[in-house]
């Protein structure tokens, strides 16, 4: 979730939930945790007074490269365990399922 916020700052909570294919309450709880860690801040929306936009804080911006590197390592580990072709197939099937659900 933090990677999405870092790459697309200013998402509304509902947009973030939709993009990640999670429920609004799940997104809210996750955002609460990130806020408690000081990694995001919620700001009132200029477009909609009821809406809240999510922005990364400076500490989050400082760990962005490290977070991407860790994600790359996890991907590399799974490709090593499963084989690149199997890994890519699984990712492709998951994307197909996700699209079908939407």
How confident is the model over 35-74, as pLDDT tens digits?
999 999 999 877 766 778 999 999 999 999 999 999 999 9
Domain boundaries, the chain: 1-60, 63-102
Its pTM stands at: 0.78
Which of 11, 62, 12, 55 is CA-nearest to residue 34? 55
Which residues are CB-contacts of 57 (< 8 A; sequence separation ≥ 6)?
38, 39, 40, 41
The CATH number of 1-60 is 1.10.10.10
Strands 52-56 and 40-44, bridge-based pairing? antiparallel
| C-alpha to C-alpha distance for 91 and 44, rounded to whole angstroms | 35
pLDDT band of residue 25 (cuts 50, 70, 90) is very high
């Amino acid at each position: 979730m933090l990677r999405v916020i870092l790459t697309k700052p200013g998402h509304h909570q509902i947009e973030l939930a939709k993009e990640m294919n999670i429920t609004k309450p799940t997104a809210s709880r996750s955002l609460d945790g990130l806020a408690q860690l000081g990694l995001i801040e919620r700001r009132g929306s200029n477009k909609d007074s009821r809406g809240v936009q999510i922005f990364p804080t400076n500490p989050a911006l400082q760990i962005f490269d490290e977070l991407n590197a860790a994600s790359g390592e996890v991907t590399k580990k799974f490709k090593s365990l499963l084989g690149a072709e199997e890994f890519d197939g699984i990712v492709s099937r998951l994307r197909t399922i996700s699209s079908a659900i939407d």
